[in-house]
Chains A and B, each alone.
Chain A
């Protein structure tokens, strides 16, 4: 009897571990069901991630890259979570502080990445944008995307929904060869 319980416990533990890793595995797939190779996984690994940020700020949308806004924008966003674009995204003080520290440390004015530099250059020093999607660089890059493919597209709805078109966004990739607009197909320049 004792022995059975023992092996039962071991089996259960193995199953739990496996099922958790299988969940993580299925998470790494894009919407179209294809799984990504080792390469893109490693590419993503270079991107620093904070677990609390990932948990709390990816419930309603994907976790936006910290490097796409300057530190002052993140401070303002974190200070107004009780009215966050019409939603209540309030957090307790501990989580909120940890996330703010993470975001400001990885913010665009600290990050030497190609996209970060482009975003930062397009933001006036006196401005504190709350949206990545309203920065000048964002507007320029998406100028050729007809609004009908976004606003009138039930599968996109808003430019804030980056991951619906940028299939690698969850892993930090905004590569122009990974853009698929739902119901319109792959984006060719």
Chain B
């Protein structure tokens, strides 16, 4: 069992480098630049990730970390349904940030739910910079 765990981790690392995040992230960030954003910053992204905001229906403060956890390498938990969410870090989960349409779909849903509004191009670029670095 143990050996399989090690093998799996090794294989995931190999798979991870094969399913790189660059194409989707570069494409997204280029389109954010066209919308006027620039100098994407991972530290700023991390700050926003943990920024608490009052969620009207939950009647409590929430952040991106409420479902994805603050440490992107760990498993998250959906704050309303309790479902486990695979780690956000591409280093742990090779499927992350590989599909531009999926990224936009979840930005739209999650920004609206968490912050009550859509995220700006600058904010999305900073988030991607942060997530990609983990």
Contact = CB atoms under 8 A, between A and B. Distances in A.
Nearest to A156: B82
- By size class, the interface of chain A is 20 to 34
Majority SS at the chain A contact face: loop
Interface string B67-85: 0000000000010111110
Given A88-B109, A88-B112, A157 B81 contact: yes
A60 B81 contact: yes
B113 interface: yes
Q: Which 9 A-B pairs have the closest CB atoms?
A: A19-B11, A61-B81, A19-B15, A15-B14, A86-B57, A88-B109, A161-B82, A22-B8, A15-B11
A78 interface: no
B82 A12 contact: no
B8 A87 contact: no
Interface of B: 4, 8, 11-12, 14-15, 18, 57, 78, 80-84, 94, 108-109, 112-113
A88 B8 CA distance: 35
Contact of A158 (B11, B57, B82): B82
Contacts of B15: 15-16, 19-20
A161 B78 CA distance: 11
A163 B83 CA distance: 8
B78 A60 contact: yes
A163 B78 CA distance: 13
Nearest to B84: A31
Nearest to B8: A22
